[in-house]
Chains A and B, each alone.
Chain A
Amino acid sequence: MKPWHAAFLTLLLLAGCKREQRQYRLDPAIAESLDRVEVLPVGINGRPPRVITITGDPYRTNAYQLSQGKRLYAGFNCQGCHADGGGGTGPALMNGWWRYGPDAVSIFLSIRDGRPNGMPAFRDRMTPEQIWQLTGYIQSLGATRASGAAPSRNDAMQTRPAENRAPAMSRLPSPYEGGP
C-alpha cells in the first residue's frame, strides 16, 4: 500500500463521518408555510408545501423527524382508535388501503382537518410541523419499499412489525389477512 492509497482511504472513511442533520427550530416563516397545502376541492390529494420538496422531504427521510412522529403517535393517543396501525375503531393505517388517499397531503389533511366518520381534527392541538412528522411516520408504517431512515426502537411489545425493518411490510396483506 502506497502512502497516497492510505491517504485516499482515510479521506473516504472521513466522508462517512457526516452525521444526519437534526432540525430542531424552524424559521417561523418556514413553519408557517408548512400549513399551506394546495388541495383539490374534495379534500383529498394535492400539492405539498414547496419547502418540503426543496429540503429533500425530511419527514420521510430523516430518522429524527420519524422518531418525533412516533412520539406524537403515542402522545396524542392515535393508538386509542388505530391501535399500532392495524386499526381498531378507526381504520388500519398500514394495509395499503386508504379511504382518503395514500399520498402525504391526504394523510396530512386527515389529521389536520379530521374526517367525517369519526376522525377528530388536530388543527388546534398540534403545529403543522408536528402534523407533517406524524404524516411521515404513518407513511413509513405501511411502506413496502425499504428506506434508509427509521424511528427509534420500541421498548414494549407492539402488534406490528418493527418500523426499522426494511421495508416495514414485505408485501401488502391479502384480503384474508385484512388487506383490500
Chain B
Amino acid sequence: MRRLLPLLSAGLLAGCTGWQSALAPRGPVADDLHGLFWLFTITCALVWLAVMLVLLAALLRRPPDGKARQERAMQHSARAIGGAVAATVVIVAGLTVASFLATRSISAHAEDALVIRLRGYQWWWEATYADPRPDQNFITANEIHVPTGRLVRIELAAADVIHSFWVPNLSGKQDMIPGRANSLAFTARKPGTYRAQCAEFCGLQHAHMALHVVAEPPEAFERWRTAQVAEAARPHGPEEDEGRRILESKACGACHTVRGTQAAGNLGPDLTHVGSRQFIAAGMLPTTRGSLAAWVADPQSIKPGSNMPMVPLTADELQAVSAYLTRLR
C-alpha cells in the first residue's frame, strides 16, 4: 500500500489536467473561477486547521481550579467566542464578495461577441451560429468552433428536459431549461479542443452527452465557418449517389437535414458536414467510415435508448450510406 499510494495519487492528479478540467484554465473566466477555487480551498483548509488546533488545546488543557480562575476562564472564552464570530463574519463576507467578483465575467458583454445558440436535446446538442447576415447562418451539432481572443456568448435553451452546459477549461456552468433563456460568456485564450459534458442528469444517456469546443486562431475559425455555411458536398461516383438517395428516401431524411438535398428533418443532428466533426453521437465514437456505418446499422446497441431508431438497411445500402456520410466534410 505504501508504495501504491504515490502511484494512486499521481493517477488521480493526472485527472486534474487535460481537456476537461477546471484546474487547467484556458481563458479569463476560467482563470477567475480557478482562483476562486483555490481561495476557497485554502481559506477553508486554514479555518479547519485552526478549529482542530483549538479543539486539541481544549482537550489537553487541565480544567481550572478555584472560583476566581474559573471566572477568568469564563471571560476568556467569551472573548474567544466573540473573536471567532467576528472572524466567521469577515471570512464569509470576504468569500461572498470574491465569489461575486469572480462570476461577474460570466455575463460579460461585447459589441463584437460571437453569438452561438445552443439547444440541448436528449442526448445531443444543436448549435446555431446566428449571424446578422441571414445567408451566413448555419446549424451544426455536437461540436462548436470559437475564435481565440474574442468574446463568445452562448445562448442556452433546451428542447425536452433540463440539461446543463459546462466547459470546465473555459467557463462556469449554466443550466439549459425548457422555456427559459439563459446565457453565458467566455473567451478562449489558447487554441485547443476542450470537452464539455452535460452537467445535469437528463435521462438514460446523460453520461454520453458530450460537446467538443474547438478554439482556433481567427483565420482558421473563419475558414471553418465558410466551410460550414456551404451546402453539403456533392456525391462522387455511383456508390455515394446511392447513399444520398437512401438518405433522402428512407426515414433518415425525416429526422436529419443535409442542406442542399431533400433531407430536411429536424429531430436529429444536422448532417450537412457530419464528416468534418471529430466525434459522432455526442462524443460516443470518433468519426470514421467504420464508426458511421456501425452507428447507422445499430444505434440502439451503441447508445441504448437514444432517439435514433434502427432503420433496416441491406449491407449494400449501409455501404453506400457510410460512403456518402464520409463525403460530407
Contact = CB atoms under 8 A, between A and B. Distances in A.
B254 A24 contact: no
A64 B237 CA distance: 43
B31 to A, nearest CB: 37
A103 interface: no
B309 interface: yes
Interface in B292-310: 298, 300-301, 304-305, 307, 309-310
A156 to B, nearest CB: 7
A177 interface: no
B17 interface: no
Interface residues of A, number: 18
B267 A28 contact: no
A25 B304 contact: yes
B113 interface: no
Q: Which of B251, B254, B309 has the most CB of A within 10 A?
A: B309
Interface in A1-49: 22, 24-26, 28, 31-32
B249 A25 contact: no
B79 interface: no
Contacts of A28: 310, 312
A33 to B, nearest CB: 12
Contact of A124 (B249, B255, B307): B249
A5 B18 CA distance: 57
A25 B307 contact: no
A24 B300 contact: yes
B305 A22 contact: yes
B179 A156 contact: yes
Contacts of A127: 251, 309-312
A175 interface: no
A125 B304 contact: no
Interface in B275-329: 298, 300-301, 304-305, 307, 309-312
Nearest to A76: B254
Contacts of B250: 124
B237 to A, nearest CB: 25
Of the candidates A22, A24, A28, the one having the most CB atoms from chain B within 10 angstroms of its own CB is: A24
Contacts of B178: 155
Q: Which residue, A25, A26, A31, has most C-beta atoms of chain B within 10 A?
A: A25
Interface in A58-99: 71, 75-76
Contact of B254 (A22, A25, A126): A126
A45 to B, nearest CB: 26
Contacts of A147: none
Contacts of A26: 310
Contacts of A32: 312
Interface of B: 160, 178-179, 249-251, 253-255, 267, 298, 300-301, 304-305, 307, 309-312
Interface of A: 22, 24-26, 28, 31-32, 71, 75-76, 124-127, 129-130, 155-156
For the complex of A and B, 7 pairs with smallest distance between CB atoms:
A25-B300, A125-B254, A24-B304, A75-B267, A127-B309, A24-B305, A24-B300
Given A125-B251, A130-B309, 16 more contacts: A22-B305, A24-B300, A24-B304, A25-B310, A31-B312, A32-B312, A71-B160, A71-B307, A75-B267, A76-B254, A76-B267, A124-B251, A125-B254, A127-B311, A155-B178, A156-B179
